[in-house]
Structure 1
């Protein structure tokens, strides 16, 4: 059987976790992000590519040409 708690206040979360732990229940947390997972993955990959030196540097004067 699965039970889902919605709109749990942060101050009650430790109590619920402790109760679940004492009853030997499995806890599965899910946080919802307002961002699309695929979009976040692309942004993170782009940042990693820049760190790895795969980016292209364009001089500021050449941007509007």
Structure 2
């Protein structure tokens, strides 16, 4: 049987790990990798900004995006 804990506070994690170890449970941390396309877009955006190909926006411009 698998058990997944969600929304565990960092301060509680050592206690839960110690309890699981004491009870003989196996602890497995599963990393969810980012979507490769998302990573590619973010890296390209950073590169564009470094090469002055970014867009300058005012607070009003940004506010319009929300509406």
Higher helix share: 2
State the TM-score, normalized to the length of structure 1.
Answer: 0.48
